[in-house]
Amino acid sequence: MATITAGDFRNGKTFEMDGKVYQVVEFQHVKPGKGAAFVRTKMKNVITGGVTETSFNPTAKFEEATIDRRDMQYTYADGDLYHFMDQETYDDVPLNKDLLGDAFRFVTENTVCKVLSYKGSVFGIECPNFMDLVVTKTEPGLAGNTATNTLKPATVETGAEVKVPLFINEGDKIQIDTRTGEYIGRAK
C-alpha cells in the first residue's frame, strides 16, 4: 500500500484513516501569516456517505485506499435484491437495495453501472450521469406552451417521478440527469 500525505490531497483522492475509507471532496492549502501551514479538507466516508470537514498538518501520513470500480450490467430486481452481471466474468452479483443510492431510480434493466468495492466489499454503485427514459404518465401537453418555465410532474418508465416542461407528452423520450433528477431535454 502506498502512503500519501495531506499535502498530496486532490479532489477524488481516497485514503484510509482510523480504519475508515475517505474520499477528498474539497481541499485547501492554508498558509497563515503566523503559525504552521495546514490543509483544510472536506471528505466523504465512502461507505456511509457522511461528509466531514477537518484540518490536517500537510505532513500527516495516510494509507492510500484503492477503490475498485467494475463495469457491471444491471440485469433484474428480485424483491430488495438487485442483480448485476460482471462484464468480464459474467458472474451474478446480487446487491441489497440500500447500497444503490438515489440515482438508481432512473436506471433501466441492461444498463451498465460501476460497482464500487473496497477490499472485496461492495459499498455502492455509480449510475450513468444521464439516462434516456420514456415518459409513461403525465398530463397532456398544450400547444404553444414552449416558452414558459412552468413544469409539471411526469412518471418515467422506471417509476420515478420528474418535473418536465408542459409540452412533454406520454411516450416522449426525455433525458434525465441522474445526479440531480432534473429534466435535461428531449432524448435524441
User: Tell me: the pLDDT tens digits for 110-123?
Assistant: 999 999 888 888 88
CATH number at residue 166: 2.40.50.140
The pTM (predicted TM-score) of the whole model is 0.73
Phi-psi label, residue 147: left if phi above 0, alpha if psi -120 to 50, beta otherwise:
alpha
Label residue 145 by pLDDT band (50, 70, 90). Answer: low
The verdict on 161 and 179 lying in the same domain is yes
If one counts every other C-beta atom within 10 angstroms of the C-beta of residue 13, the result is 17
Whether residue 105 has pLDDT greater than 90:
yes
Strand 92-96 versus strand 81-86 pairing type: antiparallel
- The yes-or-no verdict on residue 170 having pLDDT over 70 is yes
Q: Could you tell me whether strands 130-138 and 173-177 are parallel, antiparallel, or unpaired per DSSP bridges? A: antiparallel
Whether residues 117 and 165 share a domain: the answer is: no
- E strand or H helix at 69: strand 68-78
- Do 59 and 85 fall into the same domain? no
Residues 118 and 138 in one domain: no
Q: Is the pLDDT of residue 162 over 70?
A: yes
Domain extent at residue 135: 131-186
* Number of domains the chain is built from: 3
Give yes or no: residues 56 and 102 share one domain. Answer: no
Quote the cell numbers at residue 34.
503566523
- For residue range 22-66, what is the model confidence (pLDDT) as tens digits? 989 899 999 988 888 999 999 988 877 789 999 999 999 999 988
Domain boundary among 97, 126, 155: 126
Q: Are residues 56 and 74 in the same domain?
A: no
In this predicted model, what pLDDT tens digit does every residue of 73-102 receive, in sequence order? 999 999 999 999 998 999 999 999 888 888
Domain boundary among 91, 108, 126: 126
